[in-house]
Amino acid sequence: MPASISSRLALLLGASLVLPSLAACLDHPLKDVEYDSIGIKPTNLPLAINKDVDILFVIDNSGSMGEEQATLAANFASFINVLEDPEVEANYRIGVTTTDNGNPWCGGTGPEAGALQLSSCRSRPQEFLFQGATELDKTQEACLDVCPEEWADIETIPTSIGADDAPRSRNWIENIEGATNLPEGLSTVQAFQCIGPQGISGCGFESPLESMYKAIKRSETDDDPDYGFIRDGAILSVVHVTDEADCSYNTAQESIFLPEGNRLFWSDQDAASPTSAVCWNAGVACDGDDCRPVDLDVDGNEVDEEDADELAVLRPVDRYVDILQRLEDEKKSINSEQEVLVALIGGVNGDGSVTYQDSISDAQFQADFGIGPGCQSEAGRAVPPVRLRELADAFAVGDDPNMFSICNSDYSDALGAIAKAIAQQVQPSCVPGCVADTDPTADGLDPQCVLVQEVPRGNGSFEETEVIECEADGSIPDGEDVCYVALMEDERSEECVAHGFNLEFRLERREGVYVAPGTGITASCQLSQNKAIECPDLP
């Protein structure tokens, strides 16, 4: 630790030894407070980390998704506006992958398999053509109408990450302390409007859960181009956008799709090829008006949980719950209140509820799936989610909605709600304790704190520098790139007040100065043990 910081901490520690004896000698204290002891307690306050947000969009790129991708892109400002609101100012990354993990019937699609995609839709018009029973061309609607003409080519500005010092172009959109990794003149909203639309030429046996799983694994693999996308201390939000049932199948059991295999799950066992209804029939069981995921083998027998990884034709949903739960547990070790967030824009009702019922008006859909659509619009029909609903339910937070209808003609409310759930996780920098008033003769709280910024070097170590207090008007002192403002009394955020904390910090950073991902702030404050008097609302 630098000498100046050590000196300041030593002074604070010295004060903790002297002040109690001074208080004991006063016959008539100037304040109606008697401190039985005042100490120093280093508390890790992730002031910057708690604003870090990693968002993974898993977007269905099959033939039925042209209109939905256009709607997602057109309404994306509703999402970004929340993250960039002055009350939030999230340091966010946005990555996009597709639902295409390949299938024996998708030989020509070139599966992304969870790899993040970052290229302008204008540079890949062939992906907006669908060659099937009906030929579709969604180039204009899903790409040209939403992506500005001048952004036919997009390459991110090279940046470094905590685990990789070498600056290079990354496969995600990044906005850290107001500085983006995008070319000059390209906003984050416009970037997503060009990058988000993934086309309609992807595999029709969609595997959003497996794509999510592989995207996470890629982020953890040090020789993968997507390495480091998910940061250890960052809030993680996963958003699935699909109108189909999940088909994350076990490649060892791919015979369920082949004509020479067991056609048990085919809706029409005499057909020349299967439909995506195989994915419903192979992983869903319905009883009355409710449906649940099931782990079935190639002969339709339900397998035991311990055998599901090997024998189930679809990967067990637990595989996907577990990997997100592991990440959440790791994040909670840094911040106990942090949640992993999961949202679905899929085949649900307008209020987010799911309906499982027979269809009277759509005989073909009923014949394929044994159930009616979860929702429908002029753009088409959507399958009610079961496996994806199970994942969304596992990571629901309170009463906040996390499922939204893909059949809506406008996704602004859905995207706004998803972003607000993220914003609620961006916590203010409250000091998690009762900070001592070190000057009883003055009005208000007089805290004694030392703030230290820790910047990752890339080799596992950190460079530490002291953060000084901002000028009286909140401006950054000359020669400094960051300073802090101490917020007390009515200046504190509602959350700090609600928790009973009497001090909050706000960081001010010089515009345009790069802040390395993983940068954190540690605050060492002199704390009072008389919290019943100093902080009566603190539990």
Q: Let me know: does 225 contact 171? Beta carbons within 8 Å.
A: yes
- Indicate the range of 95-99, 193-197, 355-359, 458-462 predicted with least confidence: 458-462
Regarding whether 449 and 404 lie in a shared domain, the answer is no
Regarding whether 421 and 432 lie in a shared domain, the answer is no
Q: Let me know: does 324 contact 330? Beta carbons within 8 Å.
A: no
The answer to whether residue 334 is domain-embedded is yes
The answer to whether residue 539 is domain-embedded is no
Regarding whether 416 and 279 lie in a shared domain, the answer is yes
Regarding whether 290 and 395 lie in a shared domain, the answer is yes
Tens digit of each residue's pLDDT (9 = 90 or more) over 437-477: 988 888 889 999 999 998 877 677 889 999 999 999 999 99
> Which amino acid is residue 501, in one-letter code?
F
Regarding whether 460 and 385 lie in a shared domain, the answer is no
Regarding whether 408 and 452 lie in a shared domain, the answer is no
Dist. CA 182–CA 278, nearest whole Å: 41
Regarding whether 434 and 418 lie in a shared domain, the answer is no
Regarding whether 508 and 406 lie in a shared domain, the answer is no
Looking at residue 338, what is its pLDDT? 87
Regarding whether 127 and 267 lie in a shared domain, the answer is yes
Output the pTM of the full model: 0.82
Which of 391, 425, 459 terminates a domain? The answer is: 425
Regarding whether 153 and 85 lie in a shared domain, the answer is yes
Which of 404, 425, 446 terminates a domain? The answer is: 425
The answer to whether residue 224 is domain-embedded is yes
Q: Let me know: does 508 contact 474? Beta carbons within 8 Å.
A: yes
Q: Let me know: does 384 contact 284? Beta carbons within 8 Å.
A: no
Regarding whether 233 and 315 lie in a shared domain, the answer is yes
Structure-block tokens of residue 141 = 């609607």
The answer to whether residue 113 is domain-embedded is yes
Which of 425, 449, 468 terminates a domain? The answer is: 425
The answer to whether residue 44 is domain-embedded is no
pLDDT band, very low/low/confident/very high, at 50 (cuts 50, 70, 90): low
Tens digit of each residue's pLDDT (9 = 90 or more) over 357-401: 998 888 889 988 989 999 999 888 999 999 999 999 999 999 999
3 has pLDDT over 90: no
Tens digit of each residue's pLDDT (9 = 90 or more) over 127-168: 999 987 678 899 999 999 999 999 999 999 998 886 666 889
Looking at residue 517, what is its pLDDT? 62
Give the pLDDT mean for 256-280: 93
Per the prediction, the chain carries an average pLDDT of 87
Dist. CA 69–CA 193, nearest whole Å: 9
- In sequence order, what are the beta bridge partners of 504? 430, 487
Regarding whether 480 and 420 lie in a shared domain, the answer is no
Give residue 183's Cα distance to chain centre: 24
Looking at residue 250, what is its pLDDT? 97
The answer to whether residue 14 is domain-embedded is yes
The answer to whether residue 538 is domain-embedded is no
Counted domains in the chain: 2
> Which amino acid is residue 31, in one-letter code?
K
Its domain, for residue 62, covers 49-425
In terms of C-beta distances under 8 Å and separation of at least 24 residues, what long-range contacts does 323-330 make, across chains too?
323/213, 323/216, 324/216, 324/236, 324/238, 324/391, 324/394, 324/395, 325/394, 327/216, 327/230, 327/236, 328/236, 328/395, 330/232
The torsion region of residue 180 among left (phi > 0), alpha (psi -120 to 50) and beta comes to: beta
